[in-house]
Structure 1
Amino acid sequence: MDFLLGLFSRLTGNEELARILFISVIGFSTVLAVIAVMLLVLGLQDPVQRRLALIKRGHLGNAVGQEAPGNLQLLLERVGQRFASAESTKTSVTRTLLMHAGYRSSSAVQMYWAVRLMLPLLLIGLVLLLLPFIPKVSLMIGLLLVLMASGIGWLLPALYVSKRKEARQNRLRVAFPDALDLMVVCVESGLALPTTIERVAEEMSVSHVELAEELAQVNAQIRAGITSTEALKQLAVRTGLDDVQGLVSLLAQSIRFGTSVADTLRIYADEFRDRRTQAAEEAGAKIGTKLIFPLIFCLWPSFFLVAIGPALIGVFRAFG
């Protein structure tokens, strides 16, 4: 408290005015925080409000295997609904990003914005609590630390979601060749495309869980009445992979013009193998360039130290 009061005194230049300003800010912030927490918690504890919140997020209380969300999750969803962007374009981009990262619930966008809004506030509060324990901190450094904490809190969830998206797409990209080979075998054995997708999903449920879940969802959509072409297009949208988009385009043309699905899958499998070989050759060609940094900064200094070090020591002793 004394540290914050000293900051206010240096900012205003008047100790009495700094005390009044400090007390006013603390009191006003406390009143607002208490009122906000009371309204949110009381609203979530009300059975009618809780039931409405569950209905809005698509939760059915009598569904088997579903667990009702807790008050904390509903609280974050409500905060996200208050501050989420009203622009449909930005909301669609955020939902697509979360979908590619594996977050597909109806409240994923609200939870994402709630975390991005509340994490900077938590980090700012933590910095303000730790500032009195840091000796000789000026006002400018304190403001800089607060700004850095708010920036980190705002960017950290976005970076986490982006990294999770990249990792998930890499796992799907690695699993896609195996699924493609299994689809070729199943189609050539006489199975229809929906049955092929179901069989491949069952076979890959242990080794590649995420791709198996995607294929199982495609099969469920086909059984629900959605056409195979539309279900495959939604698979390409959910994964965000160019390889899947190319396969979907080829299968859509094959279904539309009545050509053999087995031939289409075999041709795409061959093209995908060639593409994978080219990617491996490209990665191998980049190794020489990537080795420049460790060679110059790690290996060469140690080599020169071992090779020239004794001679330099002898020279220094001779001309010492």
Structure 2
Amino acid sequence: MDYLLSLINRVVGNEALARLLFSAAIGLSVVFAVATLVLLVMGLQDPVQRRLLLIKRGHGAVTREAPSNLQLMLEQVGQRFVAQEQDQVSATRTLLIHAGYRSPAAVQMYWALRLLSPLLMLGLVVLVLPLIPKLSLLLGIFLLVLAAGIGWLAPAIYVSARRQARTTRLLVAFPDALDLMVVCVESGLALPQAIERVSEEMAVSQPDLALELALVNSEIRAGIPSTEALKRLADRTGLEDIRGLVSLLAQSIRFGTSVGTTLRIYAEEFRDRRTQLAEEKAAKVGTKLIFPLIFCLWPSFFLVAIGPAIIGVFKVFGKL
């Protein structure tokens, strides 16, 4: 407290005014915090508001897995920052779906965490600042801004990294699933039964893709056409390879051609594309190695090769 008071005193230049501003800031912070908590708790304790939140979240009469008060509180905080989009899915929801978060309240939780993380980081930095010796006011402000920026960007970076990792796992597992699907279809199974069998076989080795395929099978059982269910699969995963498969299967079903033949042709084309992609990455290795060689290897080489000669020259000129 004394450290914060001294910082305000440096800016204001008047000790009495600094104490007054410090007391006012502490009082307003406490009032706002208490009022916020009271409003949130009262809203959660109100049976009507709680029921409306559960209905909006997707819970009906069965509430055995109802969310906790903390989760509902975060959803209420994040709800204030979510844009209301009725005709199209927001970019944030698409990002979260690709990362594996399909909950109806995922967007609210995401924005609530992005809002509360900077406040938490600011609180931690304020507690750590008095422990830093000879800290100037400019450096303190810089650390506070840096902490707020890290708190704001950390959830987005985590979700993006999770999305990238999940997309990579799906992309690696897709060729095996495609081969299994070809075998199942050519053995006499229909497309929905083939998808169900592939999801069961890959439940242990590739749980992400198995879960997506099981969801496709559930949608087909609910009455959604196969092509529409596969389109939703492509939207959930964000993989262009699945979009190409959906297009081919839609044409095959429309024109009455063999689904097994279509899957086999696409599997061969997919293997060829993966081989070409691997060759392209291998061809780029030489170019990418130029920068490590220039900035890391060559300075060390010149230091070892020319360093002794330069030292000898300096010794000779030093004797003169």
| TM-score computed with the length of structure 1 as normaliser | 0.91
What corresponds to 1:252 in structure 2? 250
Instruction: Read off the aligned partner of 1:188 and give its amino acid letter.
Output: E
Are 1:184 and 2:171 counterparts? no
1:154 alignment partner, one of 152, 155, 158: 152
Structure 1 residue 44: Cα displacement: 2.6
Work out whether residues 81 and 110 of structure 1, in 8 Å CA contact, stay in contact via their aligned partners in 2: yes
The equivalences for 1:46-61 within 5 A come to: 46=46, 49-60=49-60
2:95 alignment partner, one of 69, 94, 97: 97
Cα distance in structure 1, aligned partners of 2:139 and 2:181: 61
What corresponds to 1:236 in structure 2? 234
Q: 1:264 to 1:73 in 2, by over 3 A?
A: same
Cα distance in structure 2, aligned partners of 1:87 and 1:12: 46
Work out whether residues 169 and 239 of structure 1, in 8 Å CA contact, stay in contact via their aligned partners in 2: yes
Deviates more, 1:228-237 or 1:79-88: 79-88
Cα distance in structure 1, aligned partners of 2:207 and 2:96: 18
Structure 1 residue 301: Cα displacement: 4.2
Structure 1 residue 6: Cα displacement: 1.8
Are 1:203 and 2:224 counterparts? no
Cα distance in structure 2, aligned partners of 1:58 and 1:90: 19
Structure 1 residue 302: Cα displacement: 4.3
Q: 1:91 to 1:199 in 2, by over 3 A?
A: closer
Structure 1 residue 260: Cα displacement: 1.3
Instruction: Read off the aligned partner of 2:9 and give its amino acid letter.
Output: S
Cα distance in structure 2, aligned partners of 1:94 and 1:314: 64
Cα distance in structure 2, aligned partners of 1:22 and 1:87: 42
What corresponds to 1:279 in structure 2? 277
For 1:170-205, what per-residue CA distance to the aligned partner results, in whole angstroms no more than 9, with x for missing partners? 110111111111111111122111111111111111
2:213 alignment partner, one of 209, 212, 215: 215
Structure 1 residue 293: Cα displacement: 3.1
What corresponds to 1:28 in structure 2? 28
For 1:110-158, what per-residue CA distance to the aligned partner results, in whole angstroms no more than 9, with x for missing partners? 1000000010111112122222222232322222222211111111111
Structure 1 residue 87: Cα displacement: 4.8
Q: Percent identity?
A: 71
Structure 1 residue 59: Cα displacement: 2.6
Instruction: Read off the aligned partner of 2:129 and give its amino acid letter.
Output: L
What corresponds to 2:113 in structure 1? 115
SS at match of 1:210: helix
Q: Runs of at least 4 residues of structure 1 off by over 6 A?
A: none
Cα distance in structure 2, aligned partners of 1:22 and 1:83: 30
Work out whether residues 76 and 111 of structure 1, in 8 Å CA contact, stay in contact via their aligned partners in 2: yes
For 1:231-250, what per-residue CA distance to the aligned partner results, in whole angstroms no more than 9, with x for missing partners? 01100100001000010111
Are 1:144 and 2:147 counterparts? no
Deviates more, 1:289-298 or 1:23-32: 289-298
What corresponds to 1:76 in structure 2? 74
Structure 1 residue 85: Cα displacement: 2.5
Work out whether residues 229 and 248 of structure 1, in 8 Å CA contact, stay in contact via their aligned partners in 2: yes
Work out whether residues 101 and 166 of structure 1, in 8 Å CA contact, stay in contact via their aligned partners in 2: yes
Cα distance in structure 2, aligned partners of 1:316 and 1:28: 69
Instruction: Read off the aligned partner of 1:86 and give its amino acid letter.
Output: Q
Q: 1:313 to 1:61 in 2, by over 3 A?
A: farther
Cα distance in structure 1, aligned partners of 2:87 and 2:120: 29
Instruction: Read off the aligned partner of 1:68 and give its amino acid letter.
Output: A
Structure 1 residue 82: Cα displacement: 2.4
Cα distance in structure 1, aligned partners of 2:84 and 2:141: 31
Structure 1 residue 45: Cα displacement: 4.2
Are 1:193 and 2:191 counterparts? yes
Cα distance in structure 2, aligned partners of 1:88 and 1:2: 51
For 1:70-110, what per-residue CA distance to the aligned partner results, in whole angstroms no more than 9, with x for missing partners? 22111111111123233558962111110000000111011
Instruction: Read off the aligned partner of 1:129 and give its amino acid letter.
Output: L
Work out whether residues 85 and 91 of structure 1, in 8 Å CA contact, stay in contact via their aligned partners in 2: no
Unaligned runs of 5+ in 1: none
Cα distance in structure 2, aligned partners of 1:26 and 1:305: 59
Work out whether residues 91 and 109 of structure 1, in 8 Å CA contact, stay in contact via their aligned partners in 2: no
SS at match of 2:262: helix
SS at match of 1:83: coil
Q: How many pairs does the alignment contain?
A: 318
Structure 1 residue 2: Cα displacement: 1.7
Q: 1:139 to 1:314 in 2, by over 3 A?
A: closer
For 1:205-235, what per-residue CA distance to the aligned partner results, in whole angstroms no more than 9, with x for missing partners? 1111101111111010000000111101100
Cα distance in structure 2, aligned partners of 1:156 and 1:80: 16
Deviates more, 1:293-302 or 1:268-277: 293-302
Unaligned runs of 5+ in 2: none
Instruction: Read off the aligned partner of 2:175 and give its amino acid letter.
Output: P
